[in-house]
Structure formats: C-alpha cells, structure tokens
Amino acid sequence: MSAGLHVLIVDDEPRIRTMVRRYLVEEGLQVSEAGDGAAMRAALERDRIDLVLLDLVMPGEDGLSLARDIRRTSDVPIIMVTGKGDLIDRVVGLEAGADDYIAKPFHLREVLARIRTVSRRARAPAPEAPPTAGEPAGDILAFDGWRLDMARRSLRSPTGGDVTLSAAEFELLRAFVQNPNRVLSRDQLMDLAKGRDWAAYDRTVDTQVMRLRKRSSRIPPTRS
C-alpha cells in the first residue's frame, strides 16, 4: 500500500524533518520537505503529493491556517502533528480539514502506521451503492437534492455546486446516505466508515459530523 506513496513533511524544525524523512525513505516511501507555507505550496504545485504530514505549531502561518489553505483547493489527506496536550487543539485541527493527528513526542513506527492507514482510506475504491430511484445504478446516491457520486467520490449541492470532502467525510456521508432513517451510534458509524481505524479517537466522528452539518442541515446526529 505504501509503494509509490509521496509524503510531504511540513515542519519548521529541520531536525524533525530529517529524522522523519530518513525513516520513511528507509520504509520505501517518497518524501519531500517544506519548512513553511510558501515551500509547502510550491511542493504541492510542483509534485503529486499523496499525503501531507503537517506540524500544528509553526512561526508565521501555523498548521491550522495551512490546513484550511490546502482544503480550499485539494482533498489530499492531512495528518496534523501537534505537541500540545489539550484535546481541543486536536479537534480544531480536524475541523480545519485534517484527517488524523499524531501527538508529540511520537514513535516513528506510529507515524508510518498512521500514514498507511490514512492513505489506505483515501485510496480505497468506493463500494458499489444500491440503485437509487431515478439515478444510474451504483454511480449516484441522491438525497434531498444532493448528489453523492460514488465513482468520483464527490458531492454536488442542490444548487449545482461541487462540495469538497475529505476521504473521512466522504466515507461518513456514504454511511449516512446508505442507511436512511436509522439512528447510528458512533461505533456503528466507525464500522460503516471503513472500520475502527477510521478515527484516531472516539470523539473524532463527532467532529466529522459537525463538519458535514455545515454543508447540510439534513444530516442526522450521532447517539452517544
């Protein structure tokens, strides 16, 4: 799964970037580095990047602003790296568009495991959907004017605009749409959305639901 995977490490500390890059390269990954937002944007424009490992705390543009910047134009998977222990900082990172997080200090094996997990979710083909009335079988799921394209993994609003979804958001929305009129617990949602490795911790699913609600007030709440 990691063969050919190109990871961009965004961190203002050269020592951290070098340590992580050497380990990932030894594990067969292609790795680029960026020490700030300008270098990150240049790398994203220049190369095909499969995943961004993004430090939260950096001088100038921090990880939150950079994650939001990425999400305006790309759905590339983002893993946020934070040295802060407060849970709220991690939740804010997920709200900004990150797919997962790693807390410092971290073990390099954990970094590799998270990269493989997130990239596997992003690359996984969408399962064939049950036919929906009035739509091509297995291609489109329609609900209240919204259109979820299973093949392209995209969402179109009732007004015709395209809505950018992260890999995790797409899987969560698919779980909702394929299970209409059901109350789904967090455990059920995580199982339906590619299993237990879908979330870094239990409350992550709440954050993803909140992000989806900003796009549509018709998405139902989870049950604790």
Residue 149 burial (CB count, 10 A): 17
Residue ranges of alpha helices (H) inside the chain are: 14-26, 37-46, 63-71, 87-95, 108-123, 167-177, 186-192, 204-213
Inter-residue long-range contacts of 83-86, CB under 8 Å, 24+ positions, other chains counted: 83/56, 83/57, 84/56, 84/57
Which one, of 38, 34, 73, 65, lies nearest residue 52 by Cα?
Answer: 34
Identify the structural domains of the chain with CATH numbers, from first to last.
Answer: 6-123 (3.40.50.2300), 140-213 (1.10.10.10)
Q: Are the C-beta atoms of residues 111 and 53 closer than 8 Å to each other? A: yes
Coil, strand or helix: which one is 146? strand
Q: What's the pLDDT band for 26 if we cut at 50, 70, 90?
A: very high
- What are the angstrom distances between the C-alpha of 83 and each of 16, 55, 86, 131? 12, 9, 9, 46
Query: Looking at residue 142, what is its pLDDT?
Result: 82
Average pLDDT over residues 94-117: 87
Q: Helix count (H) and strand count (E) of the chain?
A: 8, 9
Tokens found for residue 50: 């499969």
Query: Looking at residue 203, what is its pLDDT?
Result: 55
Range with top average pLDDT, 71-80, 127-136, 176-185: 71-80
Model confidence at 86: pLDDT above 70: no
Q: Are the C-beta atoms of residues 118 and 77 closer than 8 Å to each other? A: yes
Model confidence at 134: pLDDT above 70: no
Mean pLDDT for all residues in the chain: 78
Query: How do 162-163 and 146-149 pair as beta strands?
Result: unpaired
Q: What's the pLDDT band for 194 if we cut at 50, 70, 90?
A: low
Q: What is the CA radius of gyration of the chain?
A: 18
Model confidence at 213: pLDDT above 80: no
Query: How do 100-103 and 140-143 pair as beta strands?
Result: unpaired
Q: Which residue do the tokens 């790795």 mark?
A: 31
Beta bridge partners of 171: none
Residue type at 207 in one-letter notation: T
Q: Which residue do the tokens 């969402």 mark?
A: 155
